[in-house]
Amino acid sequence: MFSEKIQKLRKEQGLSQEALSEILNVSRQTISKYENGTSEPDFEKLLMLSKYFNVSIDELLGNERLLKPEKMVIVKNTENNQILIESKIDGKVSSFYKFITSPIFKKKEYHPELLLLGVDGHGFWGDNAVSLAWYATRSDYEKELREIMDAISKGESSYELKYYVNVKKKGIFDFEIR
């Protein structure tokens, strides 16, 4: 559970709630709420905690048993947790900090299996997601995402998508793998 994990990590480092609040640029009361389970940090604060304590986000959230150690990606100290990627769908280049999986609804054999979306900002209506690339299989998608996260953790400024497939329009509303 996140509340127990954050309290344990803070105490192991010999930090007060006040000191941790200064690191995260939040109030001491916010840290108290994290530790008593009445509030949870947003994604940006989770990344900051992950970097500071040198643990994965899954471990922070109490999911370390779900991942094998060799598959865990630890976010190391970097200036920011964004990476520049060019969309293979529309050519848009942006810095992304969050990635979303979009499975294909009513998939046919000529469809790709997944769409990778990158979030480059947050507005009044929610996340601004950009379609980055299509993937023929889940394993290709997972391999790509793992490499993106590795690049972010190494502090790389950009990443070139590798495992995507090109699609072409099929009729008015449909598409297929080329």
Q: What is the pLDDT of residues 125-167, one digit of tens each?
A: 788 889 999 999 999 999 999 999 888 888 888 899 999 998 8
* pLDDT of 20: 92
Mean pLDDT of 57-85: 59
Q: How many C-beta atoms surround the C-beta of residue 48 within 10 A?
A: 18
- Full-model pTM: 0.53
Percent of the chain's residues with pLDDT above 90: 30
* pLDDT of 107: 75
Domain with CATH 1.10.260.40 in the chain: 2-71
The residue with greater pLDDT, 114 or 50, is 114
pLDDT band at 88 (very low <50, low <70, confident <90, very high): very high
* pLDDT of 73: 46
Q: Is the pLDDT of residue 70 over 70?
A: no
How confident is the prediction for the chain on average, in pLDDT?
82
Mean pLDDT of 61-71: 50
Q: Is the pLDDT of residue 80 over 70?
A: no
Handedness of CA 158, 95, 58, 13 (dihedral sign): positive
Q: Is the pLDDT of residue 66 over 60?
A: no
pLDDT band at 72 (very low <50, low <70, confident <90, very high): very low
Q: Which CATH class is domain 2-71?
A: mainly alpha
Query: What φ, ψ does residue 68 adopt, rounded to 5°?
Result: -75, 145
